Amino acid sequence: CAVGDLNFYLQRKIKEKKSIDEADIFNWLIQICVGLEYLHSRRIIHRDLKPQNIFLTANNTVKIGDFGISKVLEGTTQVAMTVVGTPYYMPPEAC
């Protein structure tokens, strides 16, 4: 992805003391939600979603990456019981 990951992009904007266009933020949020909905509809949980795993293309398209610790559930009633991922991005309910 030409722009890099979202963390790199945010750090660059902070360093340049520039703001991020609100429309871009909403666009990324919608794309991330649609991407997660797609994964969940196929019973895949990412388990390490964070800015370093969200990639931006030159035309502002979001790509979700790094599925190293993702899990494919066998059924719709199965749950993942292991706690993995980056602690700073762990949801409170997992703690």
Catalytic residues: 48
CA distance 53 to 51: 5
Residue 20 token pair: 């991020």
Task: Calculate ∠ Cα 45-51-52, nearest 5°.
Answer: 90
Residue 48 token pair: 């390490």
Which strands sit side by side in the sheet containing 62-64, from one edge to the other? Answer: 4-5, 54-56, 62-64
